[in-house]
Amino acid sequence: MGARALKIGYRNRELLYLAVVGVLTGLGFASVYIARQALVSWGSLGYAVFFFALYLAAHLVVRLTVPSADPYLLPMAGLLAAIGVTEIYRLGASDAFKQGLWIVIGVALFAFTLWRLRRDYRVLEQYKYLFGIGAIALLLLPRVPGIGTTVNGARLWVHVGAYTFQPGEFSKVFLIVFLAAYLREKREVLAQARLKDVGPLLVIFGACMLALVASNDLGSGLLYFGIFLGMLYIATARLSFVFAGIVLFLIGGVGAYEQIPHVHERVTIWLHPWTSTPVYCPSTGGLALRQDCESYQLVKSLYSIANGGFGGTGLGKGTFTTTDGHQLIPYVSSDFIYSALAQELGLVGAAALLLVFMLFVARGMKIALQADDGFSKLLAAGLTLGFALQTFIIVGGVLRIIPLTGITLPFVSYGGSSIVANFVLLAGLLLVSDRANAT
Amino acid sequence: MNRQISTVALISLVLLASLVVATTYWQSWEAPTLAAKQDNAIQLVAQFHIKRGLIYASDGKTVLAANIAQHTAGGTLFFRRYPTNGLASQVVGYSTQGRSRAGIELADNAYLTATNANLGTIFDKLSQTIRGATVTGNNLVLNLRVNAQKIAETALQGRCGAAVVLNPKTGQVYVMASSPGYNPNKIESASGFASILNSPSACPGSSSALYNRATEGLYAPGSTFKTVTAAAALDSGLAKPTSSFFDPGYCTEYGKQITNALDQNGPERFGNVDLFQAFVHSINAVFCDLGIKIGAKLILDEAKQFGFYSAPPIDLPPSEVAASGLYDFSKHRLFDSPALVDPGRLAFGQERMLVTPLQMALVAAGVANNGTIMVPHLLNRVLSSTGGTVVTVHPKVWKQHAMKPATAAELNQMMQGVVSSGTGAAAQIPGVLVAGKTGTAETGLPNVYTAWFIFFAPADNPQVAGAIAVEHQLNGFGGSVAAPIAKQLMQAILPTVSKQ
């Protein structure tokens, strides 16, 4: 099979899978409608048609710009986004409309990135400090008076008019580009630990971490730290760096646990979500069972997951509100979308969903393995690792494997900046893949 | 670099795989534990996705409990409505969001939510679940007779008390009224609930309307208890209906005189009487002497054979059925030590003997049914949502030998005498042999009595038996207050019973 035949095969395969995703989206929405027949009309099936058309447009851009790129990633991302928007629609139709709009913007930015960098994305290497400083700047943006907004105790949002977004999501991509470029250049000399080699790396990364800790964004802090350690290890092959990093992390973690009440609270909730006697409740200042106070969200989310059982309640048939219409789980469509899906799709559906995440990671890492140059390898591995760690941190938090920190589930959670940033991440992976396959 | 990338890839995949493991843990291993947690609101809400079965009266048409559907973003929810606004309110009970459940709604929750283990129900529910249809519970048909139940509730209106009527041969409960009743549609609202909880004005200090006085109300039985005392005496052979006694108008116990009921000339005096006459005229002095003669132990043993000291096995929640017996007031506890009671006063139903109207109805039913007491049951049959019969409740024996059949026959005659020529004349029905026993129990308040009447009819082939208890009667006696209610109920039920 020649190179040209391979290209056409790849893109046609992609088209076929996208068609499958379109059908699945249609089925998902149909299922929600049937479950809620008293409230909605068949006309809303337009959602499925709309998404298929949108993905078709993305596919055409891919065909034109990165014809040799991996054919599985776009359909998988499309599937995850479709599952997300279906569940968000089921939880609240108005949010789904906004999410749909964000997916359009995400696909547009995805197309723009592919188009802009189609000749050689490696030009980015030259701007590495711009990306590094950009990452810090984005993280600091919410702290600028007038445009920053505090939500749920963390100052992570920027509002422009009626819309808010979380610049931290883009900061992650910027930091990965910086790390890939910087580590490619300095990987041979880092071990000598000269200030001029290590300094800029530590300054930029350290500034990011400080900005995150200062804004109480522990989930992202963990994510950035993991990405940093992973990429450092890939670049230098030195496990000692990793161990040193882990030791530093543990020291920092214990320090934070002792000193920062927010961290202490998260760990306490994680270890002991249920109490049988009332304990101090910071939000009311009185005494309450912990499951009725601090760990309310986590516990309600676990009930939701457990209620799914093996087969789930079925899309649209789960229970997320009390009999008088109050939300059982706060932030269910953003941070806790996984518990909603686990209830409605059951173990079978949740495991299938996680399998899609695993396949995405496997394909991303394969691209890193196939890439020819250090920057491409580091970029693809970094982007994939970021995707994998983000998934683990939020779902692991919801499942009580690690303390719960609120970040989004890539492509699935409700949240504009997350969707857009992940489509840009996807574009990066496709660019690397196209280059690796084309040569 | 590829080696490191493979390592990082492996770690990433292991981390994600751990999510599958953790999900499995919560959804299979821990799921039952989480489902049982008290603050698990999902479980609470899930109950309202089920279309509970309807509850019908014995005619199979009068709906006592129905549903209204409410369409919400989370799907259709079903809430209970009670179309009769409170007929047999304590028996039917309620099923609400805020106040949980009571009565039949609680006792038969499994049938009503289709969670019972009958094969047909399991298949129906499975097919409903697979089709995504609403799970629909089984319908219940009770033995309650709408007409008679209404008569009982009207008769008791404005007073506190209870009426129980059942079939002595089958145990089917035709009437179970507790006054005051309440409107179960008001339970959910805070103000409605508060008004139901208020102590009734007809009997200040007594329990609220929520309380099923027929099964939970504990009253001194007064002279109706003479039936048990007489049964003990006859069963033991220590006395016969013809045994003679002398009534000086009082009896002497521990050196003190206990006088008979007063009439306008002071304590009644009957002189030389036999046991039959003493029962018909309800002479306390005679029963006091009889009690002293046969002893408290024999009376208490007989009472236990009638089911005292255990809650009757009626199909209501166990928490809503009380056992009858001697109560230690300070400890709110049953006791049965004969040495600690005064046999003379126990014999005519005072002392610390407290009984439920249901238990006294079962005493009458035992006499009517040749000494055998059947298990009282409210539920007649369970129907599937498609109309098929899931369960038919068959008669069961509770106390095979409450007394000897010969004793039952003698007591039957004595109780007929009460109605034909004694204190229960107000219960006479032309053309029907009615048997009964009055009771006017002292309450500790001067001249305030609990008026009792226990009865069965027709005495030669009993179809109904029952008990009426009316609280807080100022100079109101069993024969004048309770017996007329019993008469109305027997008249309402007898023709319809014999037709079947």
pLDDT in tens, B256-313: 777 777 655 566 788 889 999 999 999 988 999 999 999 999 999 999 999 999 999 9
- Which residue is associated with the tokens 């048997």? B435
Tell me the chain A residues in contact with residue B20 when contact means C-beta distances shorter than 8 Å: 350-351, 354-355
- Which residue is associated with the tokens 């298929």? A52
C-beta of residue B356 within 8 angstroms of C-beta of residue B324: yes
Share of chain B above pLDDT 70, in %: 95
Say what the pLDDT of residue A166 is. 81
Mean pLDDT (whole number) for B206-232: 93
More confident residue, B229 or B44: B229
Residues near B235 by beta carbon (within 8 Å), at least 6 away in sequence: B302, B403, B404, B407
State residue B456 phi and psi, 5-degree precision: -155, 160
- Range(s) of chain B covered by CATH 3.90.1310.10: 42-142
Per DSSP, helices labelled H in B266-377 are 275-280, 284-294, 296-305, 343-347, 357-368
Angle, CA B218 vertex, CA B212 and CA B219 arms, to 5°: 120
- Which residue is associated with the tokens 């909730």? A269
Token pair belonging to A387: 């995707």
Residues near A162 by beta carbon (within 8 Å), at least 6 away in sequence: none
Say if the Cβ atoms of A304 and B42 lie within 8 Å: yes
CA gyration radius, chain B: 28
State residue B51 phi and psi, 5-degree precision: -85, 100
DSSP, collapsed to helix, strand or coil, labels residue B182 as coil
Task: Tell whether the model's pLDDT for residue B161 goes beyond 50.
Answer: yes
Reported confidence tier of residue B205, pLDDT bands at 50, 70, 90: confident
Q: Beta B244-247 vs B250-253: how paired, if at all? A: unpaired
Mean pLDDT (whole number) for A196-223: 87
State residue B31 phi and psi, 5-degree precision: -55, -45
Q: pTM to 2 decimals?
A: 0.69
Say what the pLDDT of residue A87 is. 92
Task: Tell whether the model's pLDDT for residue B47 goes beyond 90.
Answer: no
Share of chain B above pLDDT 90, in %: 61
DSSP, collapsed to helix, strand or coil, labels residue A27 as helix
Say if the Cβ atoms of B12 and A389 lie within 8 Å: yes
Say what the pLDDT of residue B45 is. 81
Per-residue 3-state assignment (H helix, E strand, C coil) for A219-280: HHHHHHHHHHHHHHHHHHCCHHHHHHHHHHHHHHHHHHHHHCHHHHHHHHHHHCCCCCCCEE
More confident residue, A73 or B124: A73
C-beta of residue B225 within 8 angstroms of C-beta of residue B349: yes
Angle, CA A155 vertex, CA A153 and CA A161 arms, to 5°: 120
Determine which of A235-249, A336-350, B62-76, B337-351 has the lowest per-residue pLDDT on average: B62-76
DSSP secondary structure letter of residue B341: S
* Partner residues linked to A273 by β-bridges: none
In this structure, whether the domain defined by B146-196+210-499 belongs to CATH 3.40.50.2000 is answered with no
Amino acid at A416: G
Q: What is the pLDDT of residues B332-361, one digit of tens each?
A: 788 888 888 889 889 998 888 999 999 999
Tell me the chain A residues in contact with residue B25 when contact means C-beta distances shorter than 8 Å: 399
Distance in Å from the first CA to the final CA of chain A: 15
Put simply, the chain A residues between 264 and 293 with a CB less than 8 A from any chain B CB are 274, 289, 291-292
Determine which of A233-237, B141-145, B196-200, B419-423 has the lowest per-residue pLDDT on average: B196-200
Angstrom CA distances, A378 to A200, A220, A236, B454, stand at 18, 20, 11, 93
Which CATH superfamily does the domain covering B42-142 fall into?
Penicillin-binding protein 2a (Domain 2) (3.90.1310.10)
Mean pLDDT (whole number) for B401-420: 95
Task: Tell whether the model's pLDDT for residue B74 goes beyond 70.
Answer: no
Distance between CA B11 and CA A189 in Å, rounded?
26
* Partner residues linked to B470 by β-bridges: B161, B451
Say what the pLDDT of residue B394 is. 95
Amino acid at B58: S
C-beta of residue B57 within 8 angstroms of C-beta of residue B145: yes
C-beta of residue B8 within 8 angstroms of C-beta of residue A385: yes
Mean pLDDT (whole number) for A408-423: 92
Q: What is the DSSP string of A42-67?
A: GGGGHHHHHHHHHHHHHHHHHHHH-T
Query: Where do the DSSP E strands lie in B195-299?
Result: 244-247, 250-253, 256-259, 262-263, 266-267, 271-274
Mean pLDDT (whole number) for A110-123: 93
Token pair belonging to A430: 């496709």
Amino acid at B322: A
Selecting from B25, B39, B46 the residue whose C-beta is nearest the C-beta of A319 gives B46
CA distance A375 to chain B (A): 11
Distance between CA A30 and CA A41 in Å, rounded?
10
Say if the Cβ atoms of B132 and A314 lie within 8 Å: yes
Q: What is the DSSP string of B462-500?
A: --EEEEEEEEEEET--IIIIIHHHHHHHHHHHHHHHHH-
Distance between CA A97 and CA A87 in Å, rounded?
12
Mean pLDDT (whole number) for B185-189: 87
State residue A360 phi and psi, 5-degree precision: -60, -45
Tell me the chain A residues in contact with residue B5 when contact means C-beta distances shorter than 8 Å: 234, 365, 368-369, 377, 381
- Which residue is associated with the tokens 């129907």? B383
Token pair belonging to A126: 């030259």
Say if the Cβ atoms of B8 and A310 lie within 8 Å: no
Say if the Cβ atoms of B28 and A362 lie within 8 Å: no
Q: Burial level of A253, CB count in 10 A (0-12/13-18/19+)?
A: middle
C-beta of residue B354 within 8 angstroms of C-beta of residue B471: no
CA distance B93 to chain A (A): 21
Give, for A159, the enclosing helix (H) or strand (E): strand A154-160
Q: Beta B325-328 vs B353-354: how paired, if at all? A: antiparallel
User: By the CB < 8 Å criterion, does A332 face chain B?
Assistant: no
Tell me the chain A residues in contact with residue B41 when contact means C-beta distances shorter than 8 Å: 300, 303, 322, 328
Tell me the chain A residues in contact with residue B72 when contact means C-beta distances shorter than 8 Å: 321, 325
**Helix axis angle, B146-156 to B483-499, nearest 10°:** 180
Distance between CA A250 and CA A22 in Å, rounded?
45
Angstrom CA distances, B134 to A238, A320, B50, B53, stand at 60, 18, 6, 12
Say if the Cβ atoms of A36 and B75 lie within 8 Å: yes
Number of Cβ pairs < 8 A linking chain A and chain B = 173
More confident residue, B253 or A405: A405
C-beta of residue B81 within 8 angstroms of C-beta of residue B68: yes
- Which residue is associated with the tokens 């161990």? A243
Reported confidence tier of residue B499, pLDDT bands at 50, 70, 90: very low
Amino acid at A394: I
Q: Beta B256-259 vs B250-253: how paired, if at all? A: antiparallel
Determine which of B185-189, B268-272, B281-285, B413-417 has the lowest per-residue pLDDT on average: B268-272
State whether the Cα torsion B377-B378-B382-B383 is positive or negative.
positive
C-beta of residue A338 within 8 angstroms of C-beta of residue A407: no
Q: Testing the interface with B: which of A223, A323, A369, A372 to mutate, by most B Cβ within 10 A?
A: A323
Q: Burial level of A292, CB count in 10 A (0-12/13-18/19+)?
A: middle
Token pair belonging to B127: 């097919």
CA gyration radius, chain A: 22
Distance between CA A216 and CA A228 in Å, rounded?
19
Q: Where are the domains positioned within chain A?
A: 3-271+316-438
Say what the pLDDT of residue B260 is. 73
Distance between CA A382 and CA A374 in Å, rounded?
12
Determine which of A193-197, B172-176, B399-403 has the lowest per-residue pLDDT on average: A193-197
